[in-house]
Chains A and B, each alone.
Chain A
Amino acid sequence: MIHASSNEQPLWQHHSAKQTLLRWLGWFWLVAITVVSWQVMNENTIWAFVSDAPEQAVDIGSRMFPPAWGYISNLWEPLWDTINIATLGTLLGIIFAIPVAFLAATNTTPSTRFVRPVALLVIVASRSINSLIWALLLVAIIGPGLLAGIVAIGLRSIGFIAKLLYEAIEEIDESQVEAVRATGASGVQVIDYAIVPQILPAFWGISVFRWDINIRESTILGLVGAGGLGIQLNASLSTLAWNQVAMIFVVILGTVVISEWVSARVREAVL
């Protein structure tokens, strides 16, 4: 905004009067919502429970310690199941996500009017439902066990991988595509020679990142009967065997640390 000031120099301000007002309103709402939320939260809190929270935490903590180290012999098999659920689920997700991503990216979709919205709907549907809820549904449909877990992880992964992949496809350098097209290459050849090389690092990064997330998610799928460590966790929790629970936590922590390390190494290698 330019205002003429007394010495005829245009006055420069970062924000116009309207912007300043909007910013103040924004801050006002933030404070107001915080105050209201605090009141709502307190209404439903039973303070008697909160007041002895430290003692409860110490109590459970002491029951957890030391973890039941011997219990590990019961955990190897569910751990193997968990890793399989995550890995096969990720693969399943990748297989479906790749075509969806190409259909969703504005520069590769056959039709922005009809095909793209469908692909975007698939992505949103997959992403909006948590793995645990997918698993709950699938256990009801195909019965408890590993398969339900794998399909649940796969369905949730489609949206995640497809979304990040189609964004990578949209960010490619179009001049390389133009150059390959100008040689008389077919559509598939253009994808193979001009698009795939450009998105390959992103593809590996996204896939390994999702696998890493899926390892963590598949540890809890057993809670609803979809196989893996979660089944064991559920059993130990319901028998109040806190030292076994602690042991399961240790195993989960170890697995996640290893998967983080693997995904970091893979991402390093492809970039």
Chain B
Amino acid sequence: MLKLDNVSKTYKTGDKALHNVCLEVSAGQVVGLIGPSGAGKSTLIRCINRLVEPTQGSITLGSTDLTKLNRRDLRQARRRIGMIFQEYALVERLTVMENVLSGRLGYVPTWRSWFRKFSPEDIALAHSLLDNVGLADHYNKRADALSGGQRQRVGIARALEQNPELLLVDEPTASLDPKTSRQIMRLIRAACQERNLPAIINIHDVMLAQQFSDRIIGLRAGKVVFDGSPEALSDEVLTTIYGDEDWTQLRADATPTQNEATAVLDLAEGV
């Protein structure tokens, strides 16, 4: 599905953010990407849709080598990759509906998007996605009128509006409270399962990563230092990723409250 082969990134400043990263993600697999700040997690997922240009290596999505595309073909390839951002990155002064519909921009000619003339199918899809994330009644509100959790739901709807083949998720819960964070993760997880959609999720919170991923990749100083199942994430592994820390103590403090809430239940709570 997605294959990264020997991907490296060196910034103009000389910082080497990624060292020969090789990994493969199969359809429907949710990958949690963990690692300390500055390990290259954001760079890695931005290399995939080339918001950051990789310096070396190849990235293949389906049968397309993303690193070889010219500008026009890159735009077409980006339509196949949905992205969800830290701090939501919604266009604050546009309505919720315009934000969700912007997921179709790659398919709509410029003059139509200028007059906000989207096809009825695009609008119907946007409505059903907003309904899925529990914001059916908010479509006409301006994005800056929503709470953090609601904004990230719009961000999810925008990414899904692209009808993507791959989801890139950059710290989706970094500015949300613990409960809302879990709800957002459940929504992303459910969306992936429904569509058999692979996802790479950058995340700081190890507990959340373990709970919501099929597979964990640990990044340290631009190198993959762990690649395995969430259960295999032992204290020794955490130490190789993050450095020394009393992990047993940390796990005890976190005490994952195993509530069996579903995404549907969250929406009923109206968060």
Contact = CB atoms under 8 A, between A and B. Distances in A.
Interface in B43-86: 49, 51, 75-79, 81, 83, 85
Given A183-B106, A186-B110, A193 B94 contact: yes
Interface stretch (A41-49, A122-130, A174-182, A237-245): A174-182
Contact of A185 (B89, B94, B105, B155): B105
Contact of A176 (B78, B81, B90, B107): B90
A67 B110 CA distance: 58
Interface string A147-185: 000000000000000000000000001011011111111
Given A182-B78, A183-B103, A189-B110, A200 B83 contact: no
The bracket for how many chain B residues form the interface is 20 to 34
Given A175-B85, A179-B85, A184 B93 contact: no
A197 B103 CA distance: 17
Nearest to B49: A182
Interface in A196-210: 197-198, 200-201
Given A192-B114, A193-B113, A183 B51 contact: no
A176 B51 CA distance: 13
A181 B51 contact: yes
A179 B106 contact: no
B213 interface: no
A198 B113 contact: no
Contact of B106 (A173, A184, A200, A201): A184
Contacts, number: 79
A146 B79 CA distance: 52
A226 interface: no
Interface of A is mostly: helix
A224 interface: no
B185 to A, nearest CB: 20
Residue among B77, B105, B158 having the largest count of chain A Cβ atoms under 10 Å: B105
A188 interface: yes
B105 A180 contact: yes
Contacts of A179: 83, 85, 89-91, 155, 158
Contact of B51 (A182, A189, A197, A201): A182
A132 interface: no
Contacts of A223: none
Contacts of B92: 173, 176, 197-198
A194 interface: yes
Contact of A193 (B49, B76, B81, B105): B105
Contact of B91 (A186, A188, A197): A197
A184 B102 CA distance: 10
B87 interface: yes
B98 interface: yes
B87 A175 contact: yes
Given A183-B78, A184-B78, A184-B79, A189 B113 contact: yes
A194 B89 CA distance: 10
Contact of B93 (A175, A181, A183, A197): A197
A52 B132 CA distance: 83
A197 B91 CA distance: 7
Contacts of A178: 51, 85, 89
Given A179-B85, A182-B81, A193-B105, A200 B75 contact: no
A139 to B, nearest CB: 40
B8 interface: no
B173 interface: no
Contacts of A188: 110, 114
B150 interface: no
B162 interface: yes
A182 B159 CA distance: 9
Given A184-B78, A185-B75, A200 B93 contact: yes
B83 A182 contact: yes
Contacts of A182: 49, 51, 78, 81, 83
Residue among A181, A182, A185, A189 having the largest count of chain B Cβ atoms under 10 Å: A182
B89 A183 contact: no
22 contacts: A173-B92, A176-B90, A178-B51, A179-B83, A179-B90, A180-B91, A181-B51, A182-B51, A182-B78, A182-B83, A183-B103, A184-B76, A184-B79, A185-B102, A186-B75, A186-B110, A189-B113, A192-B110, A193-B102, A193-B105, A197-B92, A198-B93
Q: Give the top 9 A-B pairs by smallest Cβ distance, nearest first.
A: A184-B106, A185-B105, A184-B79, A179-B89, A184-B78, A197-B93, A175-B89, A182-B83, A184-B75
Given A179-B91, A192-B114, 20 more contacts: A173-B92, A179-B90, A182-B78, A182-B83, A183-B78, A183-B83, A183-B106, A183-B162, A184-B76, A184-B77, A185-B75, A185-B106, A186-B105, A186-B110, A189-B105, A189-B110, A192-B113, A194-B91, A197-B93, A200-B93
